[in-house]
């Protein structure tokens, strides 16, 4: 427990951060340490686990509230095992939290959802790393992840086959009990989770051996998803009904897949347009040439006109990324990068000098213009 870092520190956010700020910080940190981007790096793997653990708590409003109140002890189910709790006896941290905020003297705490009502399962978030080409053209992927499903043996009841759960007589099935306490201001009534059924509203005398009475179990799952052509880095795909199973017959949550696109060695994406640098020789720039340009669809031939300048850009219409709505595509822009030769020998240098001497200012319009400006500034 003492070795764990503060969850807010792990995500690099302040304690009062909003849900959006928490999600944004999680995605940023998860991308930074994702195992697919750091294969074999144990440190990055541990950081990734730490980030996911922090997000699991801070993204859940109830867990976050307990963590803010009690620290790691409020969200660690194993805290105090064997040696008793830090509060002097074996108690449920959730009960302590609810005793503080469960309602005092009719301040609204008596209204509580029926513990046996159907509830939707939590959403599950996963990250998927794909290549530049897969993002541009679309692909099919199989996601492997862990989620919570309804126990097949007890069908979510938590009771062993052949038995049923009984309504708790202590709370009448509400999962809550009212405790009256004397205070200097009179008798104060406080609601807390029922000790007999631990807030469930039912007593399971013979728990299911598969799920230990929880009604749900964690399993590894695979789901096939289709990545649409044109998807961008950090976009999210929603796979309905593939999150955690619901409770008491409630619907399952969704699977949110955060897309991470690997950088490309040649291409750079800007919106739905593709940019790339095209290196050419000095002679190609001077005389023009037929060059081979890479695109996401393969190689194309392009005629470079003579006298092309460094930084000149030409456009290949319709050779960019397909629009996500399926209607049309972006363009590809190719920037000319004229490479100056190095390590010339004496013969090559002399030829360059002869060539340069044969040229006049008329062949260098920018140089000619610059020299004229210098004359105006400083004279001859």
Report pLDDT for 92. Answer: 42
Q: Is the pLDDT of residue 346 over 80?
A: yes
Token output for 303: 């005629």
Q: For tokens 């309602």, name the residue.
A: 103
Q: Is the pLDDT reported for residue 82 higher than 70?
A: no
For range 291-311, the mean pLDDT: 94
Per the listing, tokens 């290549």 go with 131
pLDDT of 314 over the 50 cut: yes
Residue 19 has pLDDT above 60, yes or no: yes
Whole-number pLDDT of residue 106: 40
Residue 94 has pLDDT above 70, yes or no: no
Token duo for residue 129: 């790393």
pLDDT of residue 28: 86
Decide if pLDDT at 193 tops 80.
yes
For 328, other C-beta atoms within 10 Å of its C-beta total 10
Mean pLDDT, residues 357-371 taken together: 82
More confident residue, 74 or 309: 309
pLDDT digits (tens, 9 = 90+) for 207-250: 999 998 888 899 999 999 999 999 999 899 999 999 999 888 88
Which of these, 176, 168, 174, lies nearest to 103 by C-alpha position? 176
Q: What is the pLDDT of residue 79?
A: 46
Q: For residue 355, is pLDDT > 80?
A: yes
List strand residue ranges (DSSP E) for the chain, in order.
124-130, 139-150, 166-167, 176-183, 186-193, 202-203, 216-227, 236-239, 255-261, 268-270, 273-281, 289-295, 298-304, 313-316, 332-339
Task: Provide the whole-model pTM.
Answer: 0.63
Tokens of 104: 């005092």
Nearest to 270 by CA among 232, 301, 241: 232
Tell whether the model's pLDDT for residue 41 goes beyond 60: yes
- For residue 162, the model assigns a pLDDT of 86
CB count in 10 Å sphere of residue 70? 17
Please give the mean pLDDT across all residues of the chain.
84
Tell me the two tokens of residue 235. Answer: 């976009």
Ordered DSSP codes for 50-75: HHHHHHHHHTSHHHHHHHHHHGGGGT
Higher pLDDT, 91 or 363: 363
Mean pLDDT of 304-329: 93
Q: Which of 91-105, 111-125, 327-341 is least confident?
A: 91-105
User: What is the model's pLDDT at position 77?
Assistant: 54
pLDDT of residue 112: 55
Q: Confirm if 126 and 222 have CB atoms less than 8 A apart.
A: no
Range with the poorest average pLDDT among 1-5, 32-36, 242-246, 278-282: 1-5
What's the pLDDT at 1? 47
Question: What pLDDT was estimated at residue 184?
Answer: 65
Q: Give the residue-averaged pLDDT of 71-92.
A: 50
Residue 31 banded pLDDT, cuts 50, 70, 90: confident
**pLDDT greater at residue 140 or residue 79:** 140
Return the pLDDT at 379: 80
For position 284, what pLDDT does the model report?
95
| Residue 365 pLDDT | 82
Q: Tell me what pLDDT residue 99 has.
A: 43
Confidence of residue 97 (pLDDT cuts 50, 70, 90): very low
* Cα radius of gyration (the chain): 33
CA distances from 22 to 35, 55, 69, 211, 266 (A): 21, 8, 18, 32, 34
User: What pLDDT score does 87 carry?
Assistant: 38
């Amino acid at each position: 427990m003492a070795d764990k870092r503060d969850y807010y520190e792990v995500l690099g956010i302040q304690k009062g951060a909003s849900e959006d700020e928490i999600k944004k910080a999680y995605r940023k940190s998860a991308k930074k340490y994702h195992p697919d981007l750091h294969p074999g790096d144990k440190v990055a793997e541990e950081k990734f686990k730490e980030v996911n653990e922090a997000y699991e708590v801070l993204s859940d409003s109830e867990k976050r509230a307990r963590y803010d109140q009690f620290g790691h002890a409020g969200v660690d189910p194993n805290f105090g095992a064997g040696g008793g709790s830090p509060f002097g006896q074996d108690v449920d941290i959730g009960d302590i939290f609810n005793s503080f905020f469960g309602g005092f003297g009719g301040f609204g705490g008596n209204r509580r959802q029926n513990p046996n009502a159907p509830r939707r399962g939590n959403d599950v978030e996963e990250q998927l790393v794909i290549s530049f080409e897969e993002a541009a053209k679309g692909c099919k992927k199989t996601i492997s992840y862990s989620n919570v499903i309804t126990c097949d043996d007890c069908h979510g009841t938590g009771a062993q086959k052949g038995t049923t759960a009984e309504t708790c007589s202590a709370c009448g099935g509400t999962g809550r009990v009212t405790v009256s306490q004397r205070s200097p201001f009179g008798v104060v009534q406080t609601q807390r989770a029922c000790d007999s059924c631990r807030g469930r509203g039912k007593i399971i005398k013979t728990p299911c051996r598969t799920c230990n009475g929880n009604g749900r179990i964690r399993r590894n799952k695979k789901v096939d998803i289709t990545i649409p052509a044109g998807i961008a880095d950090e976009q999210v795909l929603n796979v309905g009904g593939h999150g955690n199973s619901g409770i008491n017959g409630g619907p399952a949550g969704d699977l949110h897949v955060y897309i991470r696109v690997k950088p490309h060695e040649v291409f750079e994406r800007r919106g739905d347009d593709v940019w790339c640098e095209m290196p050419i020789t000095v002679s190609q720039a001077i005389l023009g040439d037929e060059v081979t340009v890479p695109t996401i669809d393969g190689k194309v031939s392009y005629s470079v006109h003579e006298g092309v300048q460094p930084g000149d850009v030409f456009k290949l219409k319709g050779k960019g990324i397909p629009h996500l709505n399926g209607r049309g595509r972006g363009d590809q822009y190719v920037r000319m990068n004229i490479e100056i030769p190095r390590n010339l020998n004496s013969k090559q240098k002399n030829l360059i000098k002869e060539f340069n001497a044969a040229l006049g200012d008329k062949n260098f319009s920018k140089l000619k213009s610059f020299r004229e400006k210098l004359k105006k500034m400083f004279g001859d």
